[in-house]
């Protein structure tokens, strides 16, 4: 039997190789890179971090008026509180007096100041009283003032009578006593009584009205 020649063998090998390449190209698998991407976290806009809840403000001290006496019973003190502000009057009923004012702290404490270095420091008590001290003209006076119920409280009248500037201050205590000073052009003296129901008072023959004092 005659064997195939070398050329025929070479040609058969080339055809087999070409067939195998064609088969791999049409049936082979392609390596692919996964295209799935996890969802990126949504960025938080700058400045959008949650702000801490505001701290609730403490309850403001209740509006009230107080009137009372110094511990040595030499003078009277009245304080009126409205809207976190306070005004006070210290009076001995003869010649020594001081008007003071200032703010009331959230805890009810107060430091009120007046002319010539006058100062009142006080704090409301659970017993419906105001305890404190007044420093005036070198004197130091501790006092206790009860919560005032009308007509008790603090009154003032200002006017010009017969050419004189009148300035009067009155403290009406819970027992009905009145302590006040009336100044005529800056000269102090005991004040006449007022009618607490109406505030009416007569000064040098002229009828004036003393009104409740609030900050």
Query: In which element (H, E) is residue 209 found?
Result: strand 206-209
The pLDDT value recorded for residue 13 is: 60
**Entry field: residues in the chain:** 215
* pTM score: 0.72
Those residues with Cβ within 8 angstroms of residue 159's Cβ, 6 or more apart along the chain or in another chain: 166, 203, 206, 208
User: For residue 201, what pLDDT is reported?
Assistant: 97
In tens digits, the chain (215 residues) has pLDDT values of 455 555 555 555 666 555 555 545 454 444 444 444 445 455 554 544 445 544 434 445 789 999 999 999 999 999 999 999 999 999 999 999 999 999 999 999 999 999 999 999 999 998 899 999 999 999 999 999 999 999 999 999 999 999 999 999 999 999 999 999 999 999 999 999 999 999 999 999 999 999 999 99
- State residue 124's pLDDT score: 92
- C-alpha distances (whole Å) from 29 to each of 20, 24, 168, 195 are 15, 9, 110, 113
Question: What local confidence, expressed as pLDDT, does residue 127 receive?
Answer: 81
> Nearest-CA neighbor of 116 among 139, 148, 93, 132?
139
State pLDDT tens for residues 2-59.
555 555 555 556 665 555 555 454 544 444 444 444 454 555 545 444 455 444 344 4
């Amino acid at each position: 039997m005659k064997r195939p020649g070398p050329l025929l063998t070479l040609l058969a090998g080339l055809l087999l190789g070409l067939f195998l390449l064609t088969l791999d190209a049409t049936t082979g698998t392609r390596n692919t890179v996964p295209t799935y991407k996890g969802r990126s976290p949504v960025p938080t806009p700058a400045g959008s971090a949650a702000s801490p809840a505001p701290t609730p403000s403490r309850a403001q001290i209740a509006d009230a008026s107080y009137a009372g006496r110094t511990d040595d019973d030499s003078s009277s003190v009245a304080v009126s509180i409205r809207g976190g502000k306070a005004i006070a009057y210290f009076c001995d009923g003869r010649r020594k007096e001081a008007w003071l004012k200032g703010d009331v702290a959230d805890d009810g404490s107060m430091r009120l100041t007046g002319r010539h270095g006058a100062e009142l420091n006080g704090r409301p008590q659970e017993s419906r009283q105001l305890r404190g001290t007044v420093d005036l003209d070198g004197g130091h006076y501790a006092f206790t003032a009860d919560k005032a119920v009308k007509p008790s409280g603090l009154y003032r009248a200002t006017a010009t009578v017969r050419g004189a500037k009148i300035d009067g201050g009155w403290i009406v205590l819970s027992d009905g006593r009145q302590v006040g000073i009336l100044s005529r052009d800056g000269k102090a003296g005991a004040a006449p009584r007022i009618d607490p129901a109406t505030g009416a008072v007569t000064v040098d023959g002229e009828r004036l009205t003393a009104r409740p004092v609030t900050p």
